[in-house]
Amino acid sequence: MIFAIGEVLIDFIARDEGALKDVKSFEKHPGGAPANVLVGLSRLGVESALISKVGRDPFGAFLLERLEEEGVNTSYVALDGERHTGVVFVQLIGAKPEFILYDGVAYFNLKAEDIKPFSAELLHFGSVLFAREPSRSTLFEILEREKITKSYDVNIRLDLWRGREDDMLADIERALKLADIIKIGDGELEFLKENGIDIEGFDFKLLAVTRGGEGSELIHGGIEVKVPAYRVEPVDTTGAGDAYMAALLASLHHMDKIKNLELSEGELYRIGRFANLIAALSTMKRGAWSVPKLEEVVLMREVRELYQRSRR
């Protein structure tokens, strides 16, 4: 089973394109990058479980119900009687999202005593919990304690780090040293380089760099492959990176490669193609939980071939 630790929240996505100050109505969608990845994994046939915290409120109940409907194990999600469930307001401009992420919410109140013992094939995490205590200390404690394969999506949210950018960079560096699999967007990669962090200098086993319409790049050992994007007409790119991550991890799981992470150039390319395709398909629906289900994608000839080959 693959676990993720991090935020689960409500995405309020603007119904109309444009500035948030002019938006009159929003659609409510479940979200949060680690939760998005787990839902994608579940839809692609991998058992998954979330470690997080939600408020004892209607939004928390909604998220738990939706996660359970998607087959994600929620028994490791703690309930918070002090803080409310996290919310985000999202504006779409040309299908590209911009966020207002709210502070003082339940997932930032994740404490070590909230986390039950667990056994995982892999533990996935992102950067958001580093932005506040006690979630920051809790996450680092778990990452440094658990001797299992770890994947890290360097999803930088600068809005959470105003005036504390040096702290953010230090935490990202610390997290990169703990990760076996790293996924990062090309803009975030450039940001880190401009701030003195060369991600290729870390001892990772697999690095995936997503480049939007230009596809993605995967680096493993001395192998580097560039994988072209699939062309679609996007409706909403919210969660596309999480869909990519889910497909990458699902391929590794079905190939039984998570523990040893030994991949040929051909295997690496097929994983990238499958991840690019799932990410592209996810942009054709609104909301972050838009990964197609396995029974839908295997009906497509090329997807079926990619998936079946990835399982060999």
Sign of CA dihedral 70, 244, 16, 103: positive
Each of the 312 residues of the chain gets a pLDDT tens digit; together they read 999 999 999 999 888 877 888 888 999 999 999 999 999 999 999 999 999 999 999 999 999 999 999 999 999 999 999 999 999 998 877 656 777 888 999 999 999 999 999 999 999 999 999 999 999 999 999 999 999 999 999 999 998 999 999 999 999 999 999 999 999 999 999 999 999 999 989 999 999 999 988 999 999 998 999 999 988 887 777 789 999 999 999 999 989 999 999 999 999 998 999 999 999 999 888 777 889 888 887 776 656 665 565 555
Taking the whole predicted model, whether its pTM rises above 0.85 is answered as yes
**Owning domain of residue 211:** 2-311
Domain CATH number, residue 62:
3.40.1190.20
CA distances from 229 to 126, 224, 244, 278, 285 (A): 24, 16, 11, 10, 18
CA distances from 25 to 14, 89, 99, 191, 196 (A): 6, 11, 16, 33, 42
| Number of compact structural domains in the chain | 1
Length of the chain: 312
Determine how β-strand 48-55 pairs with β-strand 72-73: parallel
Q: HSE-up of 95 (CA within 13 Å, CB side)?
A: 16
